[in-house]
Chains A and B, each alone.
Chain A
Amino acid sequence: MRLGIREIAVLVCLLGPGVACSQSISGAMLGDTCAGCHGTQGAAVNVTIPPLAGMNAEQFVATMLAYRTGKQSGTIMNRVARAYSDEEINAMAEYFASFPTSTSK
């Protein structure tokens, strides 16, 4: 029997804990990698780099897609946006939208 990588992952999931079963990455896991530049949970203290906390989800998605296609040019953001799927961009959008905007803190 030859198993693909997915089937093996499922098999391992059935075998026991300690295994990441799903390939999909949570909004928090994705969003926290942005925090080094955009601040913890998107609450940047130096807003030369835009804060993401409390950003409207649709606006976040539209901006990321524009960076990904190159419609909007940033500096590093075009290179960063190309790494993410639609699903991942949506998950990040929801994550950041769930926090109060930095100024209201």
Chain B
Amino acid sequence: MTETNKRDFLKFLAAGTVMSSAVFAPSLAFGQNPAHVVVIGGGTGGATAAKYLKMGDKTIRVTIIETNDVYQRCYGSNEVLTGHSTIEDLSISYDSLRDKYGVDFMFDTVTAVDSNSRQITLETGAKLSYDRLIVSPGISFTWTETDGYSEEIANSVMPHSWKAGEQTLLLKRQIDAMPDDGTMIIVPPPNPYRCPPGPYERASLLAEMFQKEKPQAKILVLDVKDGFAKDQPFMLGWNRLYDFQIPETKMDGMPDDVNIFDAPGMIEWVPGSDGGKVVAVDANAMTVTTQFGDTIHGDVINFIPPQKAAKLAFDMDLTEGNWCPINHLTMESTRHPNIHVIGDSCVADEMPKSGYSANTQAKVVAAQILHLLHDQEPEEPTWSNVCFSRVSSEYGVSVGGIYRLDHETGKIVSTQGSGGVSPLDASHQFNRLEALYQGAWMENFVTDSFG
């Protein structure tokens, strides 16, 4: 290790934890009042953090500040598009966190945080102070990178359906109204973004629905990327179920019995290197124009825009570039002491932006905050991510990763020799089970996160 590396390492270990912030942050030993941890955002990350803080120490006060009094989960929202579930199924109440775990709630929107006085200002004008703050505000979108596209267009003509609720319903209405031989265009975002396999799971489940209801329909995926999460297991499933021709670049390791088609099936995927990047949209003509100059008409255009940390993260000066850098030992912001950032908004290195990631980041931050409040050292952390996607309602694929802290770089890294995607030589039964586990995961995951 060089001298500079050594210094950086020491700095990383010390940065943002007790060394720098004990001076400002009262711990339990100092005060007579119970410590107060405030969580901004009662989504997947925030809810899990609040629950695990209370499970770890009932005596501390935990308050969630959240705009909406009901959470609409994104996981499972692709099934609302196909009619397999309803928008009501996506709603999660906060009753259990409040009644069973003793979490306090304020349904309001945070407008400002002063990290020196540790004071939060809410939209209604109310103020609130904290000993430690957890911020899990999700994502926001970049509207300006594509000609002709805007937030208004997304809310009226070309929904992204990448936050659940109105957007999900708008896209569903368009899909239902699409002509039987219509074309649906899906434009996945560039990396990094929330739920990397999400756009492809959406294409899969819609293909399953169209096979029954609109067998002449087409799904055209115009991608800026040349690959995506679980791309080979997805493509193998598409080949088996939807007559998808697997591109030459993705044939490596495919089983011998893959089908060869001379015409594209229901799903067509155009990678970035073949001109998949969309550079302009026309909401009146309902067309998209690719980097190679092709203008293509879609009856439904599901444009999923590029993503960045939530607006609040920018307002709080927690960002560098598009996301929030943190000390991964404690998940504490490297920009402001006593403020911990988790979930989609934070930089988590090799971890994908998923609900599962947000959930395990929440458990790490809860454990470390409890240590810090008790004047203890933070403990060695670990995180995981597991994601099941359905290629059809009876065919699942998965990806998993177990993550650790690399003490040399301070980064979150995947444990070598483990994790990864479903094998391509998996049996029929294996994929059947993964579809089944997806449903069980949903139930257990919602309960683990929201009580």
Contacts and interface: CB of A to CB of B under 8 A. Distances in A.
Contacts of B379: 20, 22, 25-26, 29
B377 A79 contact: no
Contacts of B440: 37, 44, 46-49
A3 B19 contact: no
B4 to A, nearest CB: 13
Interface residues of B, number: 59
Contact of A29 (B14, B375, B382): B382
B400 A25 contact: no
Nearest to A6: B407
A18 B19 contact: yes
A7 B153 CA distance: 57
Contacts of B434: 75-76
A9 B380 CA distance: 12
B377 A46 contact: no
A5 interface: yes
B18 interface: yes
B407 A32 contact: no
B284 interface: no
Given A12-B14, A35-B448, A75-B422, A17 B377 contact: yes
Contacts of A30: 382
B178 to A, nearest CB: 34
Interface string A13-49: 1001111111111101110111111111000111111
A80 interface: yes
A17 B19 contact: yes
A61 to B, nearest CB: 17
A8 interface: yes
Interface residues of A, number: 45
A2 B356 CA distance: 40
A18 B14 CA distance: 6
Contacts of A36: 356, 359-360, 384, 386, 441, 444-445, 448-449
B400 A33 contact: no
Nearest to A77: B400
B382 A76 contact: no
Nearest to A34: B384
Contact of A25 (B359, B380, B422): B380
Contact of A80 (B14, B407, B419): B419
20 contacts: A2-B1, A12-B10, A13-B377, A25-B382, A29-B382, A33-B402, A37-B437, A39-B444, A40-B51, A40-B55, A45-B443, A46-B440, A47-B440, A48-B436, A48-B439, A49-B437, A75-B398, A76-B422, A79-B420, A84-B402
